[in-house]
Amino acid sequence: MSSLVALPILIPLVAAALMLVVRNLFAQRAISFVALLSSLATATAVLVDVWNTGDIAVSRLGGWPGSFAITLVSDGLSSVLVVVALVVTTTVLLFAVGQQTPDEHSPYYHPVYMALVAGISQAFLAGDLFNLFVAFEVLLMASYVLLTLEGNRAQIRSGTTYVVLNIIESVVLVMAVGLIFAATGTVSFAELPERIAALPDGVRMGLHLLLLVAFGIKAAVFPLFSWLPDSYPTAPSSASAVFAGLLTKVGVYCLIRVQTLLFPGELSNVVMIVGVSTMAIGVLGAISQHDMKRILSFHIISQIGYMVFGLGIGGAVAIAATIFYLIHHIPVKTSLFLVEGIIERNTGSSSLDDVSGLARKSPLLAVLFLIPAMSLAGFPPLSGFLAKFALVRGGLSAEQYIGVGVAIVVSLLTLVSMVKIWVGAFWGEVAPTSLINSVGVLRQHRSMATATAILVGFTLVIAVAAGPLYEFASRASDQLLNIERYISAVRSAS
Amino acid sequence: MIKSKILEELIDRWLTKVGTLVAIFITFRGHNAPGGGFAGGLILGAVFVLQYLAGQQPTIRRKPILNPERLLGLGLLLALVTTATPLFVGGAPLESYIWSITLPQIGKVKIVSSTFFDFGVFFVVVAVVLMVLTFLGTRGGAISHEPTDGAG
């Protein structure tokens, strides 16, 4: 199995290289899909193996011994996230192809998209801090291009904010990596826990805070989130769907690694307070907005707060809930952005003032919106309810009553703002100004609708398979908390 | 723009050739000594920058088959194929193999598979320099697909 671990990184990269040579649009689309589906197949094989055996799959690049090799580590958390990421990126690509917009027709769209996928996979699989940094750079470079590919005024303006903020994040991260190397003499995840534990308290806390700030910017937690609602809404719909679903979650994944592997249980109060304030402030921001993309962007922040809150509580139950939340949130958020993309493609606007009466025009689209929206708000029996329920249970067992109270209020407020979109865009008379033509919204954009439907179906599968999935999440969380297991798996790998 | 004939001659006749040789030497040397594909690529890139400053088009741009994006793709492909090949023979990705062969007249020659990776990096770096020279300052929207049959 260990030989398959590297493939979700390698295949997209090979595809990207190939597409720089082959520049025919149809060939590029075919290569992209083949690459994504074959990566998905290998990632699924690794996941099944990890699921069945409970082992940690390790691949040493170059076959070098000890800490000389670049290690890729696929434990429960990593393997499931790679699979979810590939499912989401594949469906979004289908959506982008169906969208027929200038950005997808650019000869750089497909190679850059593949580089983004490779960066995301690498971030989830990296077995040391430096390669994690490299993965971040790869996915950030790709995201810069995707964000500004159309090159219009609004995109360049918000792209500038995005680039500057992310460069600051990269500088903080590379400083943290450098200082950690200076203090401990290693960057490997398998060697760091022991050596960090031996550091003096002050140094340890400083390094920890640096990492928290770096990944906190990436994950858009309070108070480091201001770049997100500014930049995501201007991106092309397909790009913003991937960014919304995946990029901030890479930050959350890194926070999980920091809090469980490198600095287990330290500063958890800080993390918890940050998580609680993130969910509250995010949702308040969302309620005050009047544009669908901006509402949804603020909800990303609010939802990140839930995961960070779970991480702050710590312990097997809460971390399992965080992992389950992560798995549920990625497809739900992405599908909401895709629905918004369809609306925007049809009406030319994402403002609630310009759009109304969509439920009458296209009942199916309304259903496609309603399922993930209710899931986001935590309605039973959808996946969001189960994720929130698990989190609340974790919070109660750790006696974090204030945080749990805030979480419940926030999820009511989430419902309020989802209802706001519902009432504004889907109910009411068909707005005379809207450009919807009478053919029916979905019949016109079959592959966009199919992509969205697949993703919504995927969220329903998560809800139906919640039992086994939650069990897997608990096992993944046990794996995370058992640092010795991680270390010995990396050491014993050949 | 005033072009200096002497500078052009000097660069064309000497720097280009010597620079290219140095770049290739540095790339090969990189296996056991400082150097390698990245450094070699930068040196050849510097040669192209000099050509550009002397008022010429970088030589590679005259050959349409080697436009920089294609070169970038081919370099990346070479590096990645070298990365992935060991997987098919049961090794780890990026694993390096060494063969020794004896050639008549020359003697024993060591061939290392990672050299191909180095040359992949070399081409990538050169292509990036060329792309910077070509595209910096042009409008991004102006670049579009080569004519495809009704792609739209």
Q: What is the 3-state secondary structure (H, E, C) of A398-462?
A: CCCHHHHHHHHHHHHHHHHHHHHHHHHHHCCCCCCCCCCCCCCHHHHCHHHHHHHHHHHHHHHHH
The model carries a pTM of: 0.90
Residues from chain B that touch A100, judged by Cβ atoms under 8 A, are 152
Contact A151 B139 (CB under 8 A): yes
Residues from chain A that touch B77, judged by Cβ atoms under 8 A, are 14, 17-18, 21
Nearest CA in chain A to B139: A151
Q: Distance between CA atoms of A235 and A147, rounded to whole angstroms?
A: 5
Residues from chain B that touch A24, judged by Cβ atoms under 8 A, are 145-146, 148, 151
Residue A57, helix vs strand vs coil = strand
Residue of higher predicted confidence among B108 and A454: A454
Contact B93 A13 (CB under 8 A): no
Secondary structure letter of residue A352 according to DSSP:
T
Give the pLDDT confidence of A271-320 residue by residue, as tens digits.
999 999 999 999 999 988 888 888 889 999 999 999 999 999 888 889 99
Q: Distance between CA atoms of B141 and A102, rounded to whole angstroms?
A: 10
* Domain range list for chain B: 5-134
Q: Distance between CA atoms of A316 and A169, rounded to whole angstroms?
A: 30
Nearest CB to A21 within list B77, B87, B143: B77
Q: Distance between CA atoms of A432 and A429, rounded to whole angstroms?
A: 9
Residues 101-130 of A with CB under 8 A from B: 105-108, 111
User: Does the pLDDT at position A433 exceed 80?
Assistant: no
Nearest CA in chain B to A59: B92
H-only helix segments in A148-257: 153-184, 192-197, 201-219, 228-231, 237-242, 248-257
Contact A105 B139 (CB under 8 A): no
* Domain range list for chain A: 2-492
Give the pLDDT confidence of A132-187 residue by residue, as tens digits.
999 999 999 999 988 888 778 888 888 888 899 899 999 999 999 999 999 998 88
Tokens coding B43 = 């040196």
Q: Find all residues with CB under 8 Å of A296, minimum gap 6, and list them.
A: A244, A286, A333, A336, A337, A340
H-only helix segments in A259-314: 268-287, 292-313
| Residue of B72, B148, B149 best to disrupt the A interface, most CBs of A under 10 A | B148
User: Does the pLDDT at position B59 exceed 70?
Assistant: no
Residues 150-179 of A with CB under 8 A from B: 150-151
* pLDDT in the model for residue A118: 95
Residues from chain B that touch A61, judged by Cβ atoms under 8 A, are 92-94
Place of tokens 């609340």: A392
Share of chain A above pLDDT 70, in %: 96
Beta strand B107-112 pairing with A70-74:
unpaired
Contact A105 B145 (CB under 8 A): yes
Residues from chain A that touch B96, judged by Cβ atoms under 8 A, are 62
